[in-house]
Amino acid sequence: MPPKAPITQDVMTIPRKLPEGKVNLVGLTRDALRAALIEHGTPEKQAKMRTGQIWQWIYQWGVRDFAEMTNLAKAYRAQLAEHFVIEIPEVVTRQVSEDGTRKYLCRIAGGHEVEVVYIPEDDRGTLCISSQVGCTLTCSFCHTGTQKLVRNLTAAEIVGQVMMARDDLEEWPTPGAPKDETRLLSNIVLMGMGEPLYNFDNVRDAMKIAMDPEGISLSRRRITLSTSGVVPEIARTAEEIGCLLAISFHATTDETRDMLVPINKRWNIEELLQALASYPKVSNSERITFEYVMLDGVNDSDADAHRLIEHIKRHNIPAKINLIPFNEWPGAPYKRSSNNRIRAFANIIYQAGYASPIRKTRGEDIMAACGQLKSATERARKSRKQIEAEAGLNREV
Ligand code: SAH
Ligand code: SF4
């Protein structure tokens, strides 16, 4: 069978137009940064060293102004400022939930907005970042899915969300700063707006920067990418990023998954499971997280729980199953399963030998919970009827 082409990958990233044609250094890989320096007058022989120095200022110390880069000659700093900027998304609003969750609305080029959520816990602090404005996919239970894809984020805008949160948490390290475990921002999840595997290169470059030991320096085991199941990009994620993987599984039959996660019509459950089976070996990661949103009367029966286990066992996938109580949003065509139902479902999975944590709903009062993200400026909501029609089986994906 010829390989299936991904659905809509023709979405261009529109590079940010900067004042006076200046280049933003944020988001450039080390090689690209070096090339940019050379292009704008840094002698080739010095370029490697200068790249390392500037890199550290930007990603280790959080400096945005070339004048502060005190180990560079004054004239060179001025030269840099003439050609470059160090720019990250601008925070428009910041809301803090009763439970300490913070939601930021960030403005990016073109006046678009993305939401970023910080979730503090006892032993970690997780930043949930976005990879696209909107989403091309139309999962019928997801608020973001009701918003058309506006554009892919650039690598600068993706890693910039992490830098923005570090600004807000005032966590740019001082010498001898704590390692991952004790940091306020210790983990990243790509679970905000958008499908990260439809913006692969920018997500990869941004996460490589976040992992770079001479900068933000987060271990790849503290970064989790969540995908709805873009099968051809799963092996690349293992090879080129190597972070942990979460999969929006949500249903145990193709019939139901076609309805909830329409990309299933392109790559069905069996194809998806095959791609997942080889992921841990290639990426050297421990387990894949199966995300499963609990929808009342739709996907939450005992039979579903048994089928879910059977799928995972048949393919011998090291897995944990993260049960997500459905977060309602205005016009959502589903209801959350009852607590008893969720517990019974979790128990079947647990008895079969798999971890089955129930995700705590965080930041609900500020609409920061999973699947509730949708920027205020793009709130042209589809009607419930429209959503249901689009979720129907006869819809072409
Ligand atoms: N596009 C990616 C990542 C963003 S969504 C993906 O689909 O995996 C992050 C997680 O939130 C996914 O598992 C998604 O299915 C889930 N989600 C979306 N809407 C939700 C809702 N209303 N309630 C609970 N979880 C939701
Ligand atoms: Fe897009 Fe993920 Fe929402 Fe589906 S669940 S519409 S892939 S953001």
Catalytic positions, please?
115, 370
Q: What is the mean pLDDT of residues 197-217?
A: 96
Scanning the structure block, which residue is given the tokens 């076609």? 258
Torsion of CA 200, 205, 208, 210, to 10 degrees: -100
Specify the range with the lowest mean pLDDT, choosing from 48-57, 263-272, 306-315, 362-371.
Answer: 362-371
Give residue 247 CA to ligand 2 midpoint distance, Å: 11
198 within some domain: yes
Give residue 102 CA to ligand 2 midpoint distance, Å: 21
Looking at the CA of residue 246, tell me the nearest atom of ligand 1: 8
Q: State which of 136, 191, 364 you would mutate to test the pocket of ligand 1, scoring each by most atoms of that ligand within 8 A of its C-beta.
A: 191
pLDDT at 10: 37
pLDDT at 387 > cutoff 90: no
252 within some domain: yes
6 within some domain: no
CA distances from 357 to 1, 10, 308, 346 (A): 38, 37, 15, 7
For residues 99 and 236, membership in a common domain is answered with yes
Give residue 355 CA to ligand 2 midpoint distance, Å: 24
Domain holding 158, by residue range, is 90-390
Alpha carbon of residue 22 to chain centroid:
28
Q: Are 334 and 259 in contact (CB under 8 A)?
A: no
CATH number of the domain within which 312 lies: 3.20.20.70
Q: Is the CB of residue 218 below 6 angstroms from any atom belonging to ligand 2? A: no
Pick 172 or 301 by higher pLDDT: 301
Of 270, 276, 367, 360, which Cα lies nearest the Cα of 323? 360
User: Could you tell me the sign of the dihedral formed by the alpha carbons of 263, 268, 272, 273, in that order?
Assistant: positive
pLDDT at 111: 87
Confidence band for 363, pLDDT divided at 50, 70 and 90: confident
Give residue 57 CA to ligand 2 midpoint distance, Å: 35
pLDDT at 180: 56
Q: Is the CB of residue 228 below 6 angstroms from any atom belonging to ligand 2? A: yes
pLDDT at 88: 96
The residue from 51, 68, 85 where one domain ends is 85
Confidence band for 379, pLDDT divided at 50, 70 and 90: very low
Residue 86 has a CB neighbour count (10 Å cut-off) of 21
Looking at the CA of residue 145, tell me the nearest atom of ligand 2: 6
The residue from 70, 85, 100 where one domain ends is 85
Q: State which of 117, 147, 293, 373 you would mutate to test the pocket of ligand 1, scoring each by most atoms of that ligand within 8 A of its C-beta.
A: 293
pLDDT at 282 > cutoff 80: no
Query: Residue 319's beta-bridge partner residues?
Result: 288
The helix or strand, by DSSP H or E, that contains position 31, with its residue range, turns out to be helix 30-39
pLDDT tens profile 208-235 = 999 999 989 999 999 999 999 999 999 9
List alpha helices for 73-135, DSSP H.
Answer: 74-83
Confidence band for 177, pLDDT divided at 50, 70 and 90: low
> CA–CA separation, 227 vs 13, rounded Å?
19
Q: Is the CB of residue 145 below 6 angstroms from any atom belonging to ligand 2? A: yes
**Ligand 1 pocket, CB under 6 A:** 139, 141-143, 191, 194-195, 226-228, 248, 291, 293, 324, 326-327, 370-371
- Please provide residue 125's backbone torsions phi and psi, each rounded to the nearest 5 degrees: -135, 125
Specify the range with the lowest mean pLDDT, choosing from 16-20, 121-125, 157-161, 264-268.
Answer: 16-20
Give residue 359 CA to ligand 1 midpoint distance, Å: 12
Residue whose CA is closest, atom 15 of ligand 1?
A: 248
Q: Are 97 and 89 in contact (CB under 8 A)?
A: no
> CA–CA separation, 144 vs 136, rounded Å?
9
Confidence band for 336, pLDDT divided at 50, 70 and 90: very high
pLDDT at 388 > cutoff 50: no
List alpha helices for 43-135, DSSP H.
Answer: 44-55, 74-83
Of 201, 193, 175, which Cα lies nearest the Cα of 128? 193
pLDDT at 361: 75
273 within some domain: yes
Q: For the chain, what is the domain count?
A: 2
Q: What is the mean pLDDT of residues 382-389?
A: 40
230 within some domain: yes
Give residue 290 CA to ligand 1 midpoint distance, Å: 11
pLDDT at 350: 97
> CA–CA separation, 274 vs 255, rounded Å?
19
5 within some domain: no
For residues 71 and 100, membership in a common domain is answered with no
- Please provide residue 102's backbone torsions phi and psi, each rounded to the nearest 5 degrees: -115, 135
pLDDT at 368 > cutoff 80: no
pLDDT at 375 > cutoff 50: no
4 within some domain: no
Q: Of the bound ligands, which one is closest to the alpha carbon of residue 144?
A: 2
Q: Are 108 and 157 in contact (CB under 8 A)?
A: yes
Mean pLDDT of the chain: 86
13 within some domain: no
Residue whose CA is closest, atom 6 of ligand 2?
A: 145
> CA–CA separation, 392 vs 333, rounded Å?
12
Of 358, 360, 363, 335, which Cα lies nearest the Cα of 347? 358
Specify the range with the lowest mean pLDDT, choosing from 121-125, 260-264, 283-287, 336-340.
Answer: 283-287
Q: In what order do the strands lie in the sheet containing 90-96? A: 90-96, 102-107, 113-120, 125-128, 187-190, 223-227, 244-248, 288-294, 319-325
pLDDT at 94: 92
> CA–CA separation, 396 vs 265, rounded Å?
8
pLDDT at 382 > cutoff 80: no
